[in-house]
Amino acid sequence: MEKHRSDARRGVKGKGKLYQIMNDLGIENFYIELIEHHSCNTKEELFKKEGEWIRKMGTLNGQIQGRTPEQYRTDTVVQKQEYDKEYNKNNKDKITEKQKTKYQNNKEHYKQKSNDNYYEKKETIREKMNAKCQCECGVVYSYGNRLRHFNSKHHKNFLNNNIDKCLATRRRTTIRKTTEATFIQQ
Ligand SMILES: [Zn+2]
């Protein structure tokens, strides 16, 4: 305690908050109190015990002793979010600059990555668009052509219960499709 007091008087850094408050409230008002006898074998056990008490009593110390990094993150996740939000707001330029440098230094890596992403996405989209759907009107259409199909005469005739017309347009469509297919193949 004597050391804390003299450090606080001299304004030693590292325990900023504690010493500031000791000075504000009066150094003579601070004392050390034994709250528990606890025998332990390692420093870690000691820190853990200290942490338990700090959690019970609150602390000026930024980090609670004896927490695993995982525990620390869980305990402070909300504060961290607030802090990050504030930090990002106040450091926009710095962050942009940092990202730029990071990109410049890893250009090839990022290009490759976005390339991979692009082809992966493209492939997924292509698969989705090519998926065959069976319409209640009897036509099989590709998902990508669904709007065209829903606007087609055939589908509209079907919805209007005009089965005769529906069959006619369907035959025409089939014929046209066959012609197109032959044409593409040549
Ligand atoms: Zn249809």
The answer to whether 156 touches 140, Cβ cutoff 8 Å, is: no
Residue 141: predicted pLDDT: 93
The whole-number pLDDT of residue 98 equals 92
Q: What is the DSSP letter of 34?
A: -
For residue 136, how far is its CA from the centre of ligand 1 (angstroms)?
Answer: 6
Q: How far is the CA of 163 from the centre of ligand 1 (A)?
A: 12
C-alpha 156 – ligand 1 centre gap (Å): 8
Residue 67: name the closest of 78, 53, 79 by CA: 53
Whole-model pTM?
A: 0.32
Q: How far apart, in whole angstroms, are the C-alpha atoms of residue 22 and residue 18?
A: 6
Instruction: Please give the single-letter amino acid code of residue 142.
Output: S
Residue 8's pLDDT is 75
The pLDDT value given to residue 148: 93
10-residue stretch averages of pLDDT, the chain, 186 residues long? 76 66 74 75 81 68 63 76 88 91 90 87 92 90 93 87 68 59 52
**What residue type is assigned to position 100 of the chain?**
K
Question: Would you state the pLDDT for residue 126?
Answer: 92
Cα(185) to centroid of ligand 1, in Å? 27
- 64 C-beta neighbours (distance < 10 Å), count: 19
- Specify the pLDDT at position 179: 54
The Å distance, Cα 137 to ligand 1 centre, comes to: 4
